[in-house]
Amino acid sequence: MLTKHRAKIFLFFGALTFAFNGVVAKVVLQNSLDAFHMVEIRAAGAFLVIFGVLFLRNKRAILVTKPELPGMIAFGLIGIAAVQFFYFISIRLLDVSIGLLIEFTAPIWIALWMRFVQKKHVSPLMWWGLAVSFGGMVLLAQVWKGLTLSGWGVIAALLDAFALAGYFLIGEKLGKAKASDVMLAWGLGVTTLLFSIIKPWWSFPYSIFTQSMALPGPLHGHNAPGWMLILWVILLGTVVPYFCVLTGLKGLNASTASVIGMLEPIFAGIFAWWWINERLSAAQLMGAAVVLVGIYLADRAKNLL
């Protein structure tokens, strides 16, 4: 039986490892690996690990029915492929913490979807959350200086937020019939297949595995081979945090879990400052805090239905 205390520890560690993965991934992306190939190798590696565990544990659980197949494909295309692709583009063009903050506005778009598409009543907190988050985004972008953020980076981060909203909406529906790890295996499998078509494996820059990459921050002056950092992204940046989050969700409600998940952009900002010298101005730090408050309000509105 998973206690609430243990569930919170799992979610805390999941947010921590997801956040640090952004820094490691950015180091690799800055060494000539594009977002397409990064998603491809991350998804393929994580798929092989998770599928292998599922196959050994209960191979029949992996099977899906014909009516379930479209949902699984949509989950893979939107919830995994699009989320990862736009995430990697955004953190390449923006500070890791800013990219994650914009991505984590997903609860706002979920609340708007429920209100205007599903025609459900949403608490007035949603409008407050939207207004507060927008104010925080103004501070993050420092509009009085003529927008100091990369326009393409912001667009990629917003598309990432929309995709993450799709991840939760589709996942919530599929989760009523399938276990989370089975959904994740299918999502990663669909993503691997998609990017193998877009970027066939014979075009993959395999030299990246033996490339010596300079490490930033406290390890400045030291190098690491590309295979080691990519292996980190696959195992400690994908498999482990997903396992922690999925395990933690079994012991807590969605509202509490989402609040703990908001620690991810905070951790990412700390790691990015420490390791790759990404520093936010005082106004941007205030904007980050305001955006987090807005996300919290919107998430509360979503869960008050």
Paired with 223 in beta bridges are 214
Q: Report residue 167 as tokens.
A: 């991840």
Whether residue 272 contacts residue 98, with contact meaning beta carbons closer than 8 Å, is answered with no
Q: What mean pLDDT do residues 150-176 have?
A: 88
Give 54's pLDDT tier (boundaries 50, 70, 90): very high
Whether residue 265 contacts residue 97, with contact meaning beta carbons closer than 8 Å, is answered with yes
The reported pTM is 0.88
Please tell me the total count of domains within the chain: 1
Whether residue 9 contacts residue 210, with contact meaning beta carbons closer than 8 Å, is answered with no
- Rounded to whole angstroms, the Cα distance separating 90 from 211 reads 24
Structural domain range at position 199: 4-302
Element (H, E) at 212: strand 212-214
Q: What mean pLDDT do residues 190-212 have?
A: 96
Whether residue 205 contacts residue 32, with contact meaning beta carbons closer than 8 Å, is answered with yes
Q: How many residues does the chain have?
A: 305
pLDDT at 267: 86
Whether residue 265 contacts residue 164, with contact meaning beta carbons closer than 8 Å, is answered with no
- Rounded to whole angstroms, the Cα distance separating 50 from 53 reads 5
Taking alpha carbons only, the member of 251, 278, 284 closest to residue 143 is 284
Residue 286 has pLDDT above 70, yes or no: yes
Ranking 41-50, 138-147, 211-220 by mean pLDDT, the lowest is 138-147
| DSSP state, residue 208 | G
Q: What mean pLDDT do residues 15-29 have?
A: 93
Q: Report residue 277 as tokens.
A: 């010298």
Mean of the per-residue pLDDT values of the chain: 87
pLDDT at 61: 86
Give 1's pLDDT tier (boundaries 50, 70, 90): low
pLDDT by residue (tens digit) across 85-113?
999 999 999 988 888 888 888 877 887 88
